Structure 1
Amino acid sequence: MDPLAARRGGQRATGAAIRRALPDLKALGHRDYRLLWSGQLVMNALMPLQFVTGLLWLQAAAPEHLRLLLAGLLGATRGGAMLLMGLVGGALADRLDRRHLLITTQTVALTANALIALLLLSGGLGGISLAAFLLLSFVAGGAMAVDMPTRQALVTELVPREHLANAIALDAVAMQVSLPASLVASGLLIDGLGFGGAYACGLVGHVAVLLALTRLRPHAVRRPVAGQTSFLRSVRDGIAFVRRTPTVLWVLVLLVVVMALGFPPVASMGPVWVTRVLGLSPAQFGWFAATWGLGALAASLIMTTVGHFPRKGWLVGLGAIGFAACVVGWGHSRSVPLSAVLNFSLGALLSVTQIAARALVQRIVPHTMQGRVMSLFMLNMAVAQLMTAPVGALAQVLTFELVVPVLGWISLGLAVGIVLMRADIRRAGTAGAVL
């Protein structure tokens, strides 16, 4: 063989291997999706500031005997808003101009969060300030509950079908790429600017999204056809579609079970666990929490390269089981290094599960049902947030150290049982589908 030809062949093979290993960015070749993605990148980099700051403010300002209860109440407030407004938001996304709807939700969220920042700047925690904080958190959470399914439905309009799985994975990358730095910055900003100043920094994210939305070309966004059905009938149609589609139904059930039992102790109340049980300061918590973001980012980048992988059902099932197993480990660990490894794994496995589930479902659901069905998938996060209240109450009575591992074992048992019993999940995506 010609040595020169052999060397060139080896170089081509090496180049092909490198290209396969790099993240696939083809969905970013579409201008309007790129604009939407860029705004989302900035917003997701700054939103953790608001979540962490609000929770740690409650922990710092509340009496010791109420701290876990109030942390749970805050999560339940957000979850209630997501549950109440999620279904409504999905129906709106299938009936109204999605771009205009997103501009409205971002404006409402910006206003509510600006008022929360002023509240945190004004002073300590009292009855009136607590009620105002929870009410504004409910409004902001409700706005984002409408925003999320609308944004997910809009993506299907901005990229062709063959690039949809890649766009979904890139959405996850936008959520995770700045998360490690954001979580580190949250502790440092709280120390440097106080709770109100740190919370106010998150407002820039809403402004970035609004600027991106105003630059979308109107002709790139198809206006959904409302049809002749009533609003309530539209919601019922979305629920009926999920009930008669076993793959969608059981993927949703699996996500709800794992998130309801596993997410509250490790994420919603994660800052409380890390500061109370592991004994880290707010600044140290930021560095520790970055491990979740690094795991989620790594998994999201990997998922951009496996959009062709057909066995998405197995990814969903194994990801959910792995996440629940890590919750068990989290509940038993008192070692900061081991807990950091588990936190990395939790972020990675949850990202794999959520990305695979969304890619699987959005290939099944017709365009006219996207908003309603994706709003039902928000139920897993809504239920997870609502469960924060009973988890906080149980932890206040029985101790955090007892409640968390018990929840982990229950979620692991249920996840394994659902995946083993439901072939709908295991077979999903294997019938020649290119997801």
Structure 2
Amino acid sequence: MDDRRDGEGGSDAAPEDGGQASPRRGSRLRSLLVDLSPLQQSPAFARLWIGTSIAQIGAQVTIVAVGLHIYEITHSTLAVSLVALWALGPMILAGFVGGALADTFDRRKVSLITAVIAWTSIGTMALIAFLRVELTWPYYALAAVNAASATIMGATRGAMLPRLLLPQLLPAAAALNGITMGLAVTVGPAIAGILVASVGVPWTYLLDAVLFTGAFVGILGLPAMVPDGKKSAPGFGSVVESIRFLRGAPNIRATFVWDLTAMIFGTPRVVFPAAGALVLGGGPVTVGVLTACFALGALICGLFSGPLGFVRRQGRAVTLAIAAFGVCTALFGVVLLVTSLAGGGIAPSEPIIPAIVLAGIALAGAGASDNVSAVFRTTILQAAAPDDVRGRMQGLFYVVVAGGPRVGDLLAGGIATLIAIWAPALLGGVVIVAIMLLLLRFARGFQRYDAHSPTP
């Protein structure tokens, strides 16, 4: 059953363009702004989006708070890095298992159960922090449970959206979700830093537990959503079946391969601390600025994402967006290279403001390009995948999102150690552009992908 016919995501009276035509005939500025049609036409999606937006801010608060807490206990950067390492395996496993669950059971119930697990892990973290437990393993374990639950929730939510919205509204929904993440990554860490410094870590965890109730509001407002078509019991056979499907789905497969290319070769965030200390100056403040600039670029892109809903050749758009991402990443590397050469290899005593501004602009461009790519990759995945495998494809999407940047971190760290701080961004950006230019020429099928006739 298509839940959009139940008054939650549109009606038979909806115009063929999904209700987008009349607002587009307004001012040029309005046509550039994010398309709010998904919020207007699907109350269920609106509730889900609002609830998720609130919960995501809390999630970012906890991510930063856990790192600060572990450092407060151990005074070890390595111990802080282990938070991500502990979470990686459970996140990857949750991507496969959660996708299978979403293709077998009522997706609303799957989301609700995993939300309860996630909320319990956050509440437990706050409780043991109030009790002044200073063993690190409980925080590692609870952070891993929380990350795995969030992965299952994300995969299930992605599988539900095509049942809540008309197909032509999926790009706008993806752009709105991009705004959610950009806002969370920009605001959440700032809130965490202020709260940890002012009221302490336990109260910061507690804020996330309170904000997470937004997720429940969004999920409880959804209709029941049992997957259409053939259902297979979750397990190894279900995973094998999804991989078999992926082998015959070149367009969906391309979205994963293209994204992995960008993330493996274009993730220079591990050099931010060294760049702040040795090249740009400003230390931790500069690191915060560089990190925020990437998120700010994605946020601004989301706010001005209106024209993305009219793009038909979405595969070609993904390729060009990732090429632009590569250009911006390489420009960040150029800023580091030129600044390093100008400083003669001597660490600056004060922040070099012009270089920091240029580096921030390059990273903002990378964030914006990445957001464009994410909008179209998400849309292709949701529109082209049949409903009976959509959850598993969303789960695999989260595996790629979780694993790709970690491989990129490892590669960037190795290149920076062997060559220089500027090398991962500059060389990686050039590699990305070269690969995308080759794919433009030789991956013709994906370049011809038509949003009006989505095929896997």
TM-score (norm 1): 0.82
Secondary structure, counterpart of 1:233 in structure 2:
helix
How far, CA to CA, are the matches of 2:69 and 2:127 in structure 1?
A: 13
Moved more, 250-259 or 272-281: 272-281
**Structure 2: 5+ residue runs without aligned partners?**
1-22, 340-354
Alignment CA distance shift 1:177-1:225 (3 Å): same
Residue equivalent to 1:9: none
Paired position in structure 1 for 2:33: 22
Query: Displacement, 1:396?
Result: 9.6
Matched, 1:229 2:232: yes
What residue in structure 1 maps to residue 243 of structure 2? 239
Q: 1:143 matched to which residue of 2?
A: 149
Higher helix share: 1
Partner residue in 1 for 2:87? 78
The alpha-carbon distance between structure 1 residues 168 and 193, as it changes in their structure 2 partners (threshold 3 A), is same
Please tell me whether the aligned partners of residues 34 and 172 of structure 2 are also in contact (alpha carbons under 8 angstroms).
no
Indicate the RMSD between aligned Cα atoms, in angstroms: 3.4
Q: Indicate conservation of the 8 Å contact 2:265/2:429, yes or no.
A: yes
Q: Distance in 2 between matches of 1:114 and 1:249?
A: 38
Query: Does structure 2 retain, via aligned residues, the 8 Å contact 1:316–1:356?
Result: yes
TM-score where L is the length of structure 2: 0.78
- CA displacement, residues 356-403 of structure 1 (integer Å, 9 cap, x when unaligned): 111122221112221111212222212135427735874896598266
- Corresponding residue for residue 427 of structure 1: 448
CA distance in structure 1 between the partners assigned to 2:276 and 2:132 by the alignment: 22
8 Å contact kept, 1:78–1:385: no
Shift of 1:309: 1.1
Contact 1:188/1:286 (CA < 8 Å) preserved in 2? no
In 2, distance between residues paired with 1:275 and 1:118? 36
Aligned residues: 411
Please say if 1:211 is aligned against 2:226. no
Counterpart Cα distance in 2 of 1:124 and 1:395: 39
Cα deviation, residue 164, structure 1: 2.6
Structure 1 vs Structure 2: percent identity of aligned residues? 22
* Shift in CA distance, 370/304, structure 1 to aligned 2, threshold 3 Å: farther
Q: Which runs of 5+ in 1 are unaligned?
A: 1-11
Structure 2 contact 276–282 (Cα < 8 Å) conserved: yes
Confirm or deny: 8 A CA contact 2:230 2:388 kept in the other structure: no
- String of CA shifts for 1:140-171, please: whole Å, max 9, x gaps: 11111111110011111222333233222222
Show the 5 A alignment for 1:25-424: 25-29=36-40, 30-58=42-70, 62=74, 67=77, 69-118=78-127, 128-129=135-136, 131-216=137-222, 220-225=223-228, 227=230, 229-231=232-234, 232-263=236-267, 265-266=268-269, 269=270, 272=273, 276=277, 278-280=280-282, 286=288, 289-332=291-334, 333=336, 335-387=355-407, 390=410, 394=414, 401=421, 404-405=424-425, 406-424=427-445
Distance apart, 1:352 and its partner CA? 0.7
Aligned residues of 1:310 and 1:432 also touching (Cα < 8 A)? no
Give the structure 2 partner of residue 4 of structure 1: none
Q: Which has the higher contact order (CA 8 A, sep 6+)?
A: 1
Instruction: Give, in angstroms, the shift of residue 317 of structure 1.
Output: 0.9
Return the alpha-carbon distance in structure 2 between the equivalents of residues 250 and 97 of structure 1: 29
